[in-house]
């Protein structure tokens, strides 16, 4: 049986993940984690990967490649922000290849499967890539059982397997070598051209109201299984990896053990991850540094304590944020802080306080995102109940705002641009960035991403 794993073409550079989708804000683009995991799970099949975004393939070219491979199944990523384009592409795919079965995976498929099944070309949805019965399902000519984490079409009916509730999971090591690793990069790449991503958890143990990750349960990957993949990555000569976990630091005991094992194995690659401020302390940061960590992504969201409480962010207070950012500087780990501008009912002063806090903690990089009520989040559900949310698909936050603040759309966009400008255009910041460049590769990515950001604010 032949299976094709597809990141479908798009006019935009959409990053599609099982829990969330958005456009790349600059020149970076990392490998699609869902397809990577599936490349391990499905390794007993004849497998091909097409990433039409990274190769910038047109719809015609992608269809040509698919037809020439003649797969039995195409498993395609889909996304809430690109759904209109994707559903039309998948319909053309079926028209061109009537015998191919189409399965999809992505945020819209996870949270709104019924919207997806309105498209008749879709045969199945994989809702959870950690399910251990995906291979079994795909190999059935006419499946008839229930498969956890999978919904499929059977005649006019939809057969819905329950979401699996595995606390600990394992899967065969993903085949990173099937992906064009030399083409991917991170927003802060240092060691490209060989970058990949890995995951060691599923979902998030916290439940921030604006974030879909906390709504899909939480499971973690067996540690030996994670290390097996890291050993393989080391053998491939990959220089840089990104743990695509919502929070590698939760629970901290697991991260401590992972770091100890990584130190023992003396890996040569360097890594970055997402973590939660409240899990961090100086000892853990020092251990992470020793294990090869060079950057941590922290979701800070707001410069106001009452706003953090309102969205159930697991951060005690602003002082704990200040402390962790100072400790990262002491230990020598770079930071990326992400902020949300335009949470419902914010005022101009609220927005400006967040901007001012971003400069005060002075992370190595800052990401300012205009609020989007994402699928599956309590905040979106609440807005829908209040009759304030009426669109079927997601808005791409890089393009337009969903605005329930007290400022106009124009003002919100202006503050967004101002935040990027004031953070990145500080002479001391620019000097600091160039002062810390260690390689031509780092300089190249700094200039490329800097240029993309500059285009956004002029």
Residues found near ligand SF4 in the complex (CB under 6 A): 204, 206-208, 211, 213-214, 246-247, 276, 299, 314
The least distance separating ligand SF4 from the CB of residue 274, rounded to whole angstroms, comes to 7
The least distance separating ligand SF4 from the CB of residue 215, rounded to whole angstroms, comes to 8
Does the bond joining 394 to the residue before it have cis omega, within 30 degrees of 0? Answer: no
CB nearer to ligand SF4: give 211 or 401.
Answer: 211
Biggest distance spanned by C-alpha atoms of the chain: 64
CB nearer to ligand SF4: give 247 or 358.
Answer: 247
CB nearer to ligand SF4: give 197 or 204.
Answer: 204
Instruction: Transcribe 299-324 into DSSP letters.
Output: EEE-S-HHHHHHTT-S---HHHHHHH
Decide: 131 and 169 in contact? Cβ < 8 Å: no
CB nearer to ligand SF4: give 187 or 299.
Answer: 299
Sheet holding 168-169, edge to edge: 168-169, 218-221, 201-203
The least distance separating ligand SF4 from the CB of residue 201, rounded to whole angstroms, comes to 10
The least distance separating ligand SF4 from the CB of residue 181, rounded to whole angstroms, comes to 26
Decide: 47 and 23 in contact? Cβ < 8 Å: no
Beta-carbon count within 10 A of 157 CB: 8
CB nearer to ligand SF4: give 93 or 276.
Answer: 276
CB nearer to ligand SF4: give 25 or 313.
Answer: 313
Decide: 268 and 236 in contact? Cβ < 8 Å: no
How do 365-370 and 334-341 pair as beta strands? parallel
The least distance separating ligand SF4 from the CB of residue 298, rounded to whole angstroms, comes to 9
CB nearer to ligand SF4: give 204 or 446.
Answer: 204
The least distance separating ligand SF4 from the CB of residue 354, rounded to whole angstroms, comes to 15
The least distance separating ligand SF4 from the CB of residue 30, rounded to whole angstroms, comes to 17
Decide: 128 and 122 in contact? Cβ < 8 Å: no
Neighbouring residues of 269: CB distance < 8 A, sequence distance ≥ 6 = 191, 233, 234, 238, 239, 240, 241, 292
């Amino acid at each position: 049986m032949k299976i094709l794993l597809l990141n479908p073409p798009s006019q935009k550079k959409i990053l599609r993940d099982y829990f969330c989708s958005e456009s790349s804000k600059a020149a970076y683009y990392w490998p699609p984690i869902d397809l990577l995991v599936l490349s391990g799970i499905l390794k007993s099949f004849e497998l091909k990967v097409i990433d039409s975004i990274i190769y910038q393939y047109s719809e015609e070219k992608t269809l040509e490649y698919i037809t020439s491979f003649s797969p039995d199944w195409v498993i395609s990523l889909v996304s809430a922000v690109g759904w209109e384009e994707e559903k039309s592409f998948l319909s053309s795919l079926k028209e061109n290849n009537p015998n191919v079965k189409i399965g999809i995976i992505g945020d819209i498929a996870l949270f709104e499967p019924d919207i997806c099944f309105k498209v008749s070309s879709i045969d199945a949805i994989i809702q959870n890539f950690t399910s251990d019965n995906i291979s079994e399902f795909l190999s059935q000519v006419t499946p008839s059982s229930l498969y956890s984490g999978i919904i499929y079409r059977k005649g006019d009916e939809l057969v819905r397997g329950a979401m699996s509730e595995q606390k600990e999971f394992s899967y065969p090591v993903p085949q990173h070598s099937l992906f064009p690793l030399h083409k991917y990069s991170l927003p802060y790449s240092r060691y490209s051209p060989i970058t990949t991503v890995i995951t060691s958890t599923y979902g998030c143990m916290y439940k921030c109201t604006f974030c879909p990750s906390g709504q899909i349960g939480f499971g973690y990957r067996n540690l030996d299984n994670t290390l097996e993949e890291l050993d393989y990555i080391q053998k491939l000569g990959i220089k840089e990896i990104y743990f695509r976990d919502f929070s590698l630091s939760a629970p901290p005991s697991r991260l401590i053990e992972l770091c100890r094992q990584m130190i023992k194995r003396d890996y040569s690659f360097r890594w970055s991850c997402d973590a939660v401020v409240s899990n961090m302390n100086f000892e853990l940061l020092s251990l992470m540094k020793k294990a090869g960590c060079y950057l941590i992504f922290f979701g800070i969201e707001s410069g106001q304590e009452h706003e953090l409480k309102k969205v159930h962010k697991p951060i005690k207070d602003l002082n704990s944020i200040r402390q962790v950012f100072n400790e990262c500087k002491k230990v020598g780990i770079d930071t990326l802080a992400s902020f949300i501008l335009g949470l419902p009912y914010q005022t101009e002063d609220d927005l400006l306080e967040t901007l001012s806090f971003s400069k005060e903690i002075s992370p190595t990089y800052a990401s300012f995102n205009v609020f989007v009520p994402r699928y599956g989040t309590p905040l979106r559900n609440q807005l829908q109940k209040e009759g304030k949310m009426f669109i079927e698909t997601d808005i791409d936050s890089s393009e337009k705002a969903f605005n329930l603040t007290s400022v106009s759309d124009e003002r919100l966009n202006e503050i967004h641009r101002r935040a990027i400008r004031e953070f990145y255009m500080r002479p001391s910041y620019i000097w600091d960035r160039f002062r810390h460049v260690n390689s031509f590769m780092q300089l190249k990515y700094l200039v490329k991403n800097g240029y993309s950001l500059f285009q956004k604010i002029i």
